[in-house]
Structure 1
């Protein structure tokens, strides 16, 4: 597999798919990433001196509230965690960030990741309206004595930083494992994770593995699971988490 070509193809596709339009003092940037309403993610940027200012125009939080989402204390903590991960702030309902002009590309990448992450992690499973997928996974890890580090970040070959939900350290018999929780398994999320992995993997140890935990209580879009497997990721369906093979995949021995 020619990882560099895959990364180059992805970045070329991304560049060709991004459009922009001048609206007042802002530029509206439309990305090829889809949210859970199947709308393209849009961000707004403007120059402020030697800095660039980013905003989502409150769309992310507005869409959540329109779907009936209630921001409980626990959810506020989860939201703050995501914001901290990606260096984004919440002002009222507006996601905002600022960066030097020469750091535009990296900050734009992180801002979009934050929007996608919030959009994904706060799509609550229909059968578990009181909990979050990340919470469920952490409880499962605790129950099975699976030890991990959460919220880890690695630099890829592209120079972009990529966040992973969990890192399970290597042992004598198991490689390092990076885990991503996917609450809403759609093609947009899949493409984003695979780009991050193909960008990260060459910078990690050769035997490092990607484990994707799919919430199959929500619909898994056609082709998503096969695509992960084609790129040599290990896939665990949430409903099958207690299978011996899946426990073995996550354990240290």
Structure 2
């Protein structure tokens, strides 16, 4: 059994070697194309430069630029901390928007492995880990409310006619111009999240003022929101607001 597994391991290492391609792109840098795939199913590439005391590995800014161009901003302190923590786990540093790692001839194999793992981890972190996406979106909403001078009370619990308690993210009290406004964030606006929002609103709205309004902020910066999800909310007198169109409701929330 051990011999069989050892043979398979050797086959894997040979496959990894065969599928890794090197290309000299200038006098200093060598491009390494690996068989590891990113979230676009493209082979991961990184770059190596010889230095006086070893080697410098760099992704040339690919991972961070890809996240930003896909609408995943890394500006908030929480996201920066999450990124830094993830990279630190692999010993990788951030130079501007470029991932870098220094290696010696003796530890090159391990460092190269760690560098690839860091690239994959950051690539996946903000797109595949839905709890992180939801929490980060909530933080974005808080910053937007504060920046827009919209007063609010966070994390309000309403009791529904069923007797169940329901948590809503924000409540803006009524004013002379506007009724009570309730805000719910959906960082991952999938079918189950839409259904849960509809249920807790229909269950609790009878215990609110008759003209209370529910706005649902939908995160469309990192995934497309289905038209059926928007229609479902509208059918229950819930106002869906795409995150990219949030400026349209500022006046109604500030008043």
Q: TM-score under structure 2 normalisation?
A: 0.49
Q: TM-score under structure 1 normalisation?
A: 0.49
Q: Which has the higher contact order (CA 8 A, sep 6+)?
A: 1
